[in-house]
Amino acid sequence: MRKESRYSCYPFMREKSCLVDYEIRTDSLTTRIGAVLPILREDVPCKVVLDDLQMIQPMAYHVNGSVRGKLAITQEDLEWLSSRYDFYVNEVRDVIQQFLLPQGSTAGSLLHICRSEAKKSYRALHKVSEEREVPEILFDYLGLLANVFFVMAVYVNKIHGVIEIPFISKSYPSKKK
């Protein structure tokens, strides 16, 4: 007798492959992006970020399915994301010359969580690549995505007048200016 689908949250959940962990990670990333959207819908000065996130969220699901299924990330997608990175870097260039604590406004803090989720997704993808071949563009996209979330967070914090807090490591030497 076949179990009802109500008992299955994901059909591949019991697979031994790291691919399942990657798919769960990227699902978490997509969900975290969704958590930022309602906050930004009420934030007129951050409309550019809202518009970008509405483009990025479905792309996170495309990254999810691009290993088990058909590759859904294109060079054009990567170039668009790269252009958004350039936009935000241009807006916050003076602030991002040092390591910053992940904090700030509600939207900024949630974008830092998205950054962390993108990094976890990248790491999970690396584990998958030890088991099977993975298109390099997925690594490029996730690495760039983590960096986009970082500069987006700093941009949103800047709009809200949040002062970024530099982090000075006691473990690693800092660069002298």
Task: Using the structure block, give the residue that is written with the tokens 């008992």.
Answer: 7
Task: Evaluate whether residue 43 is within a structural domain.
Answer: yes
Task: Evaluate whether residue 175 is within a structural domain.
Answer: no
More confident residue, 90 or 6: 90
Residues in CB range of 176: below 8 A, 6 or more apart: none
CATH number (domain holding residue 144): 1.20.1200.10
Q: Is the per-residue pLDDT at 108 higher than 60?
A: yes
pLDDT of residue 116: 98
pLDDT of residue 150: 98
Q: What are 50's two structure tokens?
A: 């809202």
Task: Evaluate whether residue 30 is within a structural domain.
Answer: yes
pLDDT of residue 8: 66
Q: Is the per-residue pLDDT at 123 higher than 90?
A: yes
Q: In terms of residue numbers, what domain contains 48?
A: 15-159
Q: Is the per-residue pLDDT at 176 higher than 60?
A: no
Domain count, the chain: 1
| CA dist list (Å): 78 to 18, 99, 172 | 24, 25, 32
What's the mean per-residue pLDDT of the chain?
92
Task: Evaluate whether residue 28 is within a structural domain.
Answer: yes
